Amino acid sequence: MKTTNNGVLREMTAQEITEYDATIAEAQKQTDAQTARQVARQAVLDKLGLTADEAAALFGN
Amino acid sequence: MGANASTAVPVYVSGQVLDAARLNLTNNGIPVFSGTATRDAAFGGSGEKTLAEGQFAYLEDTNSLQYYSGTSFVAASGSNLITSGSVTSGTTVSLDSIFSATYDNYYVIFSNIVQAGSTNVVQFRTGGVTNTTSNYSFARSYLDVSAMAFEAGSGGTTSIGLGSTTANVMNTWEMVISRPFATGETSGWFRQAAENTSIVSWFGFHLFKATTSFDGLIYTAGSTFTSASYAIYGLAN
């Protein structure tokens, strides 16, 4: 796994690989949480029988 | 040192012979210096002009135009390129020594980004070390041709999450960073645009909620870059 530091391409250190893995894992967690919120929102809209456009007209978004 | 670079800004006295060498010194218009050290050494000495308000200077090492305000040299234009470059491989791009006391605020743009993953994350660095503490916060909204969503903010994270883009399509992001070098909180805004089956954009703001001085940043992609170009500008105070 490689990184470019100030224009120089090199192999990542063990510490950098650990940081990379942690950063990507957190970003994925945030994306998953956002997806879960969208799914929950859609479930409520389905229950109410509203389309996304109708919900936006009612609630602003 | 380039052909236009000066080592002195002369002053002439009554009756002095102005030969070709002396006239050539004054033919350069705005004096060009290799850096701040040669610039500062060119004024105030024997046979040199006394530095005064309105004096312009061009610096070769930073490609910047400056003028003397009466107390110091300051940037003559609104934005000044600090560094730029491009990558064609690797999964992170780190840039150190880009923030300094010269500017309070910075504009960062990464363009022509094509990567095999979807994650786009930014963190700050000090002395070549990435700050991975849980002091980052950000909030962002999402917009494409058929939908818009205000996403909940994320507080206490270890990075700033930009957009989540589709792999192997070109995207661009830009960020304004306010006072990263000052020992205080760092904040600003960002936006990212990606080309997909439709255009997708993300807009957001970020805050590092701790009193830390940063001199660099790191951009982390979800997987290997095919391409990315970057430019960092200091915004004149």
- The domain boundary residue, chosen from B75, B94, B109: B75
Per-residue model confidence as pLDDT tens digits over B204-216: 999 999 999 999 9
The predicted pLDDT at position A40 comes to: 86
- State which residues form the domain around B107: 79-235
Looking at the structure, do residues B131 and B196 belong to the same domain, yes or no?
A: yes
Q: What is the mean pLDDT of chain B?
A: 90
B122 vs chain A: nearest CA distance in angstroms? 9
When divided into structural domains, chain B yields a total of 2
CB contacts of A34 in chain B (<8 Å) are 151-152
B120 with B145, same domain? yes
Is the pLDDT score of A61 beyond 60?
no
Q: Which residues contact B173 (CB under 8 A, 6 or more apart)?
A: B109, B110, B113, B120, B162, B163, B190, B191, B192, B193
Whether residue A51 lies within 8 A of chain B, CB to CB, comes out as no
pLDDT value, residue B215: 97
Tell whether B229 is covered by a domain: yes
Whether residue B204 lies inside any domain: the answer is yes
Domain boundaries, chain A: 33-61
pLDDT digits (tens, 9 = 90+) for B82-128: 999 999 999 999 999 999 998 999 999 999 999 999 899 999 999 99
In a mutagenesis test of the A interface, which of B86, B164, B230 is the best target, namely the one with the most A β-carbons within 10 Å?
B164
Regarding whether B114 and B151 lie in a shared domain, the answer is yes
Residues B195 and B170 in one domain: yes
Contact B94, B228 (CB under 8 A): no
B132 and A2: CB-CB below 8 Å?
A: no
- Of the residues B86, B87, B89, B92, the best mutation for testing chain A's interface (the one with the most A CB atoms within 10 Å of its CB) is B92
Residues B171 and B117 in one domain: yes
**CATH number of the CATH domain containing B165:** 2.60.120
Burial of B36 (0-12, 13-18, 19+ CB in 10 A): middle
User: Is B152 or B66 the better-scoring residue by pLDDT?
Assistant: B66
Give, as one character, the DSSP assignment of residue B80: E
Lowest mean pLDDT among A36-45, B53-62, B125-134: A36-45
Please indicate, yes or no, whether residues B135 and B202 belong to a single structural domain of this protein.
yes
Minimum CA–CA partner of B89 in chain A: A2
Does residue B13 fall inside a structural domain?
no
